[in-house]
Structure 1
Amino acid sequence: MLILFHKNNTVVEVLNTTTSEIIVIEEKEPTKGLFFLASKYSHSIIAWCHILNKKNINIEAIQFCFTSNNVMVSNGNSSYLTDAIGYVEDSLFINVNRETKFPTWLMSSNCGAIYGEKLLMFRECISNSNSLDYNLNSIAKLGMKNGLLCYFSSEIIKDNKEVYLDEKASETELFQFVKEHFRARWTLLLFLYLMIFEKKFLLFPLIKSLLFKQKTFNKFITSEAITEELKINTSVSVLIPTLGRAKYLYDVLKDLAKQTVMPAQIIIIEQDDSEIAKSELNYITSEDWPFKIEHRLISQTGACNARNIGLQLVTSDYVFMADDDIRFNKNTINEALVFMQAHDFNAITLSCLRENETEKRKIPIQWAAFGSGCSIVKTSVLRNLKFDMAFEHGFGEDTDFGMQLRNKGIDVIYLPYVQLKHLKAPIGGFRTTYIHAWDNEKVTPKPSPTVMLYNLKYKTVQQLKSYKLTLFFKFYKKQTIKNPFIYYRVFKKRWEISQDWANNLKNKAV
C-alpha cells in the first residue's frame, strides 16, 4: 500500500508500507500525486492521509476494508459538502453513522484509500483545479452508481483527536458540485431551499454554477470473484409470510424444490384473521417435499409480526426472505450465495420485477433500499434485529430493516443479474380493510405517519425540509384546494398531524 500524506493542499511525503520506503515524487498537488501513484502502482491500494493523522492511520484496518478491489473508503468528522447537500440528495447515503462502516459517497481528505487501477478510471473526468476533497467526493459520487463500493469507516483512524479539522466546501464549490453531479434543476432548487430555510441569497454561486456541465462517467467498475464455487455445507432457510395466496405459494414451493442448492428449511408464517383460523395450505402435508417445512398458522395479520416470528425459527447459515407470489429458476439460490461468498457480502437484494419490466442495471451496486420479499441475509448478522412493529400495516418496514442492517455495519448490495419475477398477485392481503388509528382524524395526515416515522428516524434536518417542500408542490396538483393560501394552511396541519402520529409510533417496541 502507498500512502500520500498531505497538508495545505500540498504533498508532504509518500510512504510505501510494504518496504517502509519514502518515495519521492515531483507532483506536489495531492490529486495529481494520487493519479501518479495509481499509474505506477495500479495493482496496489493508494491511500491518502492528512499529515496530522500520520500516527493515527490504521493500515491494517484499511487493508481489511478491501475484500474486493472495487472499494473506496474514507474517514472524516463531517461532510466536506456541508449539511446543505441534504437539500439535494434524498438518499440514506448522506446521514452517515460515524460509529461503524457505513455506505456513503461523502469522502474526506482526512484519510482514505482506493485501488490504483480503479482510481485511474476517473482520470478523464477529474479536474486538478479542484481541491482534493472536491475530487474525492466527485469520484465516489460518480463511481457509486457504476459499481464502486464507497464507505465511511470508523476504524481506519485509530484516535481522531488531532487538531486537524475537515475541510468545508465554499458556497461556490457547493453549487458547482451540484451542477456537475445532479440534474441541472437541483442548482435552482438548492438556491431556493437555502433562501427559504437559511435566509441565504446566493445568486452569484448559482450564476457561476451555470458555467459548468454535468459530469458523465459510464464505465462499469467490477471486481473479480475469488471463487465460483459454494462453500461445502452452506445451508439456507427460506422465510415466507403468506395470507390468502395458497395457489401462488404452491408455485413458490415448487420452484424451491427444483433448486440446485436445496434449502434446508422453509418457514411459512400463514396468517388468517377469521374468527376461527384455518389453514389453506393442505399441500404442505399432502405432498412430499425435499426440504423441512416449518409451518405456523397465526391469527394476527401483518408482515412485520410474521417475519419476526419466522426469523426466530431460522436454523441455517443464510435466510432468503421471499414473497409468496414470486417465480424463479433452479439456479437462483446457488448464484446468489456464490456471489455473496465470493465477494464477502452479508446482505443482498435480488432483482424482482414484474412481467413487463426490464432490468436496467447491469452490475451489482450499493442499494438505497432493502427488499423484505427478495433478499438474502447471512443469519449471523441478524442477531438482535427485528422488523419494527411501528411500521405494521403501513409503509417502510423493509427500508427500516435495511437501515438497521447498515447501522450494524452491514451493507446491502443489489444483484441485478439474479432475477425473480414478481407476479403481484391480485388476491391475498387483508380479509378486511385495516383501520389505522389516524384514519379517524378529521384531517388526514400527510404523508402517511409510517412514512413520516422513517423520515424522522433516518433523514437529516435538511433532507426533511427538502422533502416537505417538494411534497408541498407535488401534492398541490393532485388535490382540490386551488387557493394557495388555504392549501398552505391545510398542508401544514396535515403535516403536523402526521408528525404527531409518527412520534406516537416511536414508542412502540421494535
Structure 2
Amino acid sequence: MPFVFLKYLQPTHYFRLKNLKGDTVFPKVEALPESVLEKLEQDSNYLSSHAKDYDISWQAIQLGYIGDAETYQSFNKVPVYDNYRFIRKHFHKAWVLYVLLLRVLSLHNPIKEIAAFVKTRHISRKIATLQPITYEDYTSFESNLLASKPLVSVVIPTLNRYAYLKNVLKDLEQQTYTNFEVIIVDQSEPFTPDFYKAFKLDIKYINQKEKALWLARNTAIKHAKGKLIALSEDDVRIKPDWIEAHIRCLDFFQVQVSAGVFYPEGQNIPNDRAFFSVASQFATGNAMLYKKVFNIVGLFDRQFEKQRMGDGEFGMRLFLEGIQSVSNPDASCVDVKAGVGGLREMGSWDAFRPSTFLAPRPIPSVIYFFRRYFGKKATRRALWRTVPMSVFPYQFKKNKAMLILAGVLSLVIAPVICLQVYRSWKLASIKLKQGPIIEKLSENH
C-alpha cells in the first residue's frame, strides 16, 4: 500500500496486495483523467512529493475511480510525518493514537513518532467531506448486454427459513428482467418441496442432506445454465430492478463482477457504499458474475464450511487474478438478518464472537484466510485490531462508548482471550496444512 501505516489499520485488506501481474489497485496520478483529478484534494503540505501523489491515488480509489489508468507496482518510502498526516486525514483520531502506541511499543524512535504525532494534531479528517466521482452517462447508457437478454441463474442456498425465502421469491416474481432461472439448494428439515409450487418462477430445487453452505453454492453453480450467475440469500429483500441493475453495471464498466450493496432493514445504504467504486470486498449474498469466472478461479473453498469468510476468500482470488469487481449501489438489497436458520444453526454466525466462553476467537477460518494470503505478522496485526472490539455483541460495534469499554474489558479478561486466540490459531494451522478445498468448474458445466 502507498503508506506504510496502513499495515496497522488495514493489515488484511485486499488492496494491500498486488495481483498476479504485479499491479496494485492504485492508479498513477499522471495517468488519471483531468475530470477525476479536479474532484480530488491536492495537498502540498506533505514533505515528500511521492506522499502527495499517493494521497491523490488513494482518494481516487476511495471516491469511486473505475478506469484503466496505469497503476503503481511499487511505492517509495515516505517520511514518518507524511504517514501521520495521511492517517489523520483519512481515519478517525482514535486510530491515529492506536498507530502511535503500536509504533512506540514496537521500538520505533519514540521521540520521532511523538513529534510527528504532535505536529499533525491540527489536521482533521478530510475524506468524508469530499464528493464521490460520478458517472453521468450511466443513467442514459443503452446496454447491449441487457438487450441481448442472457440467461441468468439466481443461486439461493436455504436452511430452515421458508418464511423468509417466501419473501425473496416474491421479490423475484416482480423482476423487470425476466430471462432467469432460480436454483435453490434446500437443506431444510423437514424438506418441503410443495412450498415451491406457489411461485410463478422457473425454479429448480435440490434437496441437500448435508448442512453445508459452500457445498450448496458450489452445487447450484454446477447446475446453473445461465451465462451469468446471480448470488443471493434466503433472508434478503431485493428491488424489482435488481437483476437488471447488476447486468447494466457489468456492461457499462466492462467488468466481470458486479458486487451489490447490503444494508440492514430499516436503514439506508451507508454513505461510503452509495456510489460506484472498485469493490473492496465480495459478498455472496448479493453479486452477479459471469459463470466463466469460476472456470478461472475455481468454486468456493470448502475449508470454510460451517464457518465464516468464504466469500472474502473467493473475492481475494478474483482480486489476485486481476478480475475487476465493481461495488454497485443500484443493485442493493435489504439484509433482514433472520433470527433463525442458516449459519445460526451451524454454530458460526459471527466471525469474531464465539458461541461459548472458551470457543476459539475468532473462528479458525478467519485466521486461515488471513495467514494464507497475508502471512503471520499481518494476521497478528489484524487480531490486535479486531479481537478486543469483539468482546461486546455485534449490535454495539458502532457505539464508541461501548468500543472503549470493550477495549478496557479485553485487558481484564486477557488470559481468556489469549487462550481463545491460541486455540483458533492452532485449528487454522491444521487447515493450512490440509490446504484449500477448491474444485475447479469444468468447461462442461
Choose from 211, 218, 222 the match for 2:134. Answer: 222
Provide the residue aligned with 1:360 in structure 2.
270
Query: Contact 2:150 / 2:179 at 8 angstroms: preserved in 1?
Result: no
Identify which of structures 1 and 2 has the higher relative contact order when contacts are C-alpha pairs closer than 8 Å and 6+ apart: 2
- Tell whether 2:144 aligns with 1:235: no
Identity of matched residues, %: 19
Does 1:86 pair with 2:7?
A: yes
Q: Return closer, same or farther for 1:130/1:336 CA change in 2, 3 Å cut-off.
A: same
Amino acid at match of 1:205: A
Q: Distance in 2 between matches of 1:153 and 1:387?
A: 31
Question: Deviation at 1:94?
Answer: 4.0
8 Å CA contact 2:410, 2:417 repeated in 1 = no
Equivalent in 99, 104, 110 of residue 190 of structure 1: 99
Output the CA distance in 1 between the equivalents of 2:46 and 2:330.
39
Higher helix residue share? 2
Q: Which residue of 2 aligns with 1:267?
A: 183
The AA in structure 2 aligned to 1:452 is I
1:317 aligned residue (227, 239, 244): 227
Q: Which residue of 2 aligns with 1:500?
A: 426
The correspondence of residues 246-265 of structure 1 with structure 2, limited to 5 A, is 246-265=162-181
**Equivalent position amino acid for 1:184 in 2:** K
| Structure 1 counterpart SS, 2:16 | coil
CA RMSD in angstroms comes to 3.4
**Residue 311 of structure 2 aligns to which amino acid in structure 1?**
D
Structure 1 SS opposite 2:223 = coil
Residue-by-residue CA offset, 1:430-480 (whole Å, 9 max, x unaligned): 7965599xx999953222212222222344656433333334644675599
Structure 2: gaps (5+ residues): 392-404, 439-445
User: How many Å separate the matches in 1 of 2:309 and 2:160?
Assistant: 22
Render the CA deviation track for 1:16-72: whole Å, top value 9, x for unaligned.
xxxxxxxxxxxxxxxxxxxxxxxxxxxxxxxxxxxxxxxxxxxxxxxxxxxxxxxxx
Please give the alpha-carbon distance, in whole angstroms, between the structure 1 residues aligned to 2:236 and 2:217.
17
TM-score (norm 1): 0.71
CA contact (8 A) 2:182 2:201 kept: no
Q: Does 1:417 align with 2:330?
A: yes
2:367 aligned residue: 452
The alignment status of 1:207 with 2:124, answered yes or no, reads no
Task: Provide the aligned length of Structure 1 versus Structure 2.
Answer: 409
**1:400 lines up with 2:309 in the alignment:** no
Quote how far apart the aligned CAs of 1:254 are: 3.1
Deviations 1:55-98 (A, max 9, x none): xxxxxxxxxxxxxxxxxxxxxxxx4423x431123462442124
Distance 1:379 1:435 in 2: 28
CA contact (8 A) 1:256 1:262 kept: no
What one-letter code is carried by the residue in structure 1 that aligns with 2:382? Y
Higher strand proportion: 1
C-alpha distance 135-482 of structure 1, shift in aligned 2 (>3 A): closer
- Counterparts of 1:14-25 in structure 2, within 5 Å, are none
Secondary structure of the 1:282 match is helix
Uncovered stretches (5+) of structure 1, i.e. residues with no partner:
1-78, 158-164
Residues in 1 aligned to 2:357 and 2:124: alpha-carbon distance in whole angstroms: 49
2:402 — aligned with what? Answer: none
